[in-house]
């Protein structure tokens, strides 16, 4: 895998709704959308969504941030007609922008004929060093009087010392490239210090943190002993296991982390074509999300975009600890002092565990 590949999550839509709503498994389709490339992967708009047994599940805060910006300008709650359960869920889950590094985010909004598309592209270039990827999906369906609200996260986390490449190992039914270290390897002390063990009961129940150069950011990986009903309870359970001063990995521990490559796009058609209540001249025209994510022995990169358009009409273990991240496992990215992550991924299969 080539170091430096970005992680991207994009979202487009055009209107919304309100109400506190607790989803259940039967209403899964309103919250989630299958990836168009056919992988066993689903994108979700909110964290409070059921975890599927056999599919990878991805969430990023950009869609919610763009929705919140739209609500700030148009007035929350954004209600749709016919009513939308997904819009209700978005209205009920605002995301505090302070939970993401301000230097890693860009949020804007405005009318097409007032130059908002140029502003979005300029903002993306300034933040990520490239043109906006979301605009190519958004622009064909826009009119010059449409409103567009945009949010972007671009974050890079690098390890002080790259982990060792371990070759391909059978995880999740496939042989996938992995990185980490083996117990018999010599001179791994520096790598062991880059792994904090917050919780360890067995090879099927542990929470670890891979230390990166940015001390304010946490990259968390965990295997959980039992399925969780929602992605929110899953990620919340991981966060609750974190120790203020977690011990590092020790000699004899084995670390095996699969390389991850995500490049997914999905449409949330449940939002599209609905009129904004009390604003008869506005409809939600599109709902699209794209996520790119990359993790290898050198670090992690995330670049997530979202656009909404509105238009008219730890203790020492006696036995060696096996820190093998085979599916199913969960990955979180969060600010160290934030109560909630800004990126959560549930890897139920090996479709996304591969080299670029």
Q: What is the 3-state secondary structure (H, E, C) of 206-243?
A: EEEEECCCCCCEEEEEEECCCCCCEHHHHHHHHHHCCC
Q: Give the C-alpha separation, 282 to 273, whole Å.
A: 10
Question: Interior CA angle at 307 toward 291 and 98, to 5°?
Answer: 80
Q: Are 166 and 187 in contact (CB under 8 A)?
A: no
Per-residue pLDDT of 60-71, as tens digits, reads 999 999 999 999
Give the integer Cα–Cα distance in Å for 6 and 8.
6
What does the pLDDT average to over 15-44?
49
| Cβ-proximal residues to 96 (8 Å cutoff; 6+ apart), any chain | 338, 340
Examine residue 2 and state whether it is found in any structural domain, yes or no: no
In a domain, 3, yes or no: no
Please say if the pLDDT value at position 337 is more than 50.
yes
Would you place residue 319 in the very low, low, confident or very high pLDDT band (cuts 50, 70, 90)? low
Same-domain check for residues 137 and 269: yes
Both tokens of residue 198? 């917050």
Same domain, yes or no, for 66 and 197? no
CATH number at residue 245: 2.30.39.10
* pLDDT for 30: 53
Range of the domain at 103: 8-22+33-156+261-311
Closest C-alpha to 124, from 138, 145, 143, 114: 138
* Statement to judge: residues 207 and 231 lie in one domain: yes
pTM of the predicted protein model: 0.84
Give how many domains the chain has, as a whole number: 2
Q: What is the mean pLDDT of the chain?
A: 85
Q: 199 forms bridges with which residues in the sheet?
A: 207
- Is the per-residue pLDDT at 221 higher than 60? yes
Cis omega (within 30 of 0) on the bond before 77?
yes
* Claim to verify: residue 246 and residue 293 sit in the same structural domain: no
154-182, pLDDT tens digit by residue? 999 999 999 999 999 998 788 999 999 99
Query: Does 355 map to a domain?
Result: no
């Amino acid at each position: 895998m080539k170091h430096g590949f970005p992680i991207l999550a994009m979202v487009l839509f055009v209107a919304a709704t309100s109400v506190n709503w607790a989803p259940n498994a039967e209403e899964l389709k309103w919250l989630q959308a299958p990836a168009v490339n056919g992988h066993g992967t689903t994108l979700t708009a909110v964290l409070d969504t059921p975890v599927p047994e056999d599919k990878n599940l991805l969430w990023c805060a950009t869609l919610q941030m763009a929705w919140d910006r739209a609500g700030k300008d148009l007035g929350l709650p954004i209600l749709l007609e016919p009513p939308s359960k997904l819009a209700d869920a978005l209205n009920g889950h605002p995301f505090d922008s302070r939970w993401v590094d301000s230097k890693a985010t860009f949020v804007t909004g405005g009318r097409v004929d007032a130059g908002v598309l140029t502003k979005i592209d300029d903002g993306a270039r300034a933040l990520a060093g490239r043109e906006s990827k979301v605009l190519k999906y958004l622009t064909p369906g826009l009119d010059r009087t449409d409103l567009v609200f945009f949010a972007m996260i671009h974050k890079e986390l690098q390890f002080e010392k790259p982990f060792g490449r371990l070759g391909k190992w059978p995880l999740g039914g496939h042989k996938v490239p992995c990185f980490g270290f083996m117990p018999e390897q010599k001179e791994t002390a520096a790598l062991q210090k880059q792994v904090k063990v917050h919780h360890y009961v067995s090879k099927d129940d542990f929470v670890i943190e891979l230390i990166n150069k940015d001390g304010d950011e946490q990259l968390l990986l965990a295997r959980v002993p039992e399925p969780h009903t929602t992605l929110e309870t899953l990620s919340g359970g991981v966060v609750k296991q974190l120790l203020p001063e977690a011990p590092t990995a020790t000699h004899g521990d084995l670390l095996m982390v699969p390389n991850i490559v995500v490049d997914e796009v999905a449409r949330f058609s449940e939002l599209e074509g609905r009129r904004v209540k009390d604003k008869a001249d506005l409809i939600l025209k599109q709902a699209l999300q794209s996520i790119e994510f990359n993790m290898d022995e050198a670090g992690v990169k995330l670049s997530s975009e979202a656009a909404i358009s509105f238009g008219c009409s730890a203790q020492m273990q006696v036995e060696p600890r096996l820190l093998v991240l085979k599916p199913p496992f969960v990955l979180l990215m969060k600010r160290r002092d934030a109560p909630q992550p800004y990126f959560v991924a549930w890897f139920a299969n090996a479709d996304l565990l591969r080299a670029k």
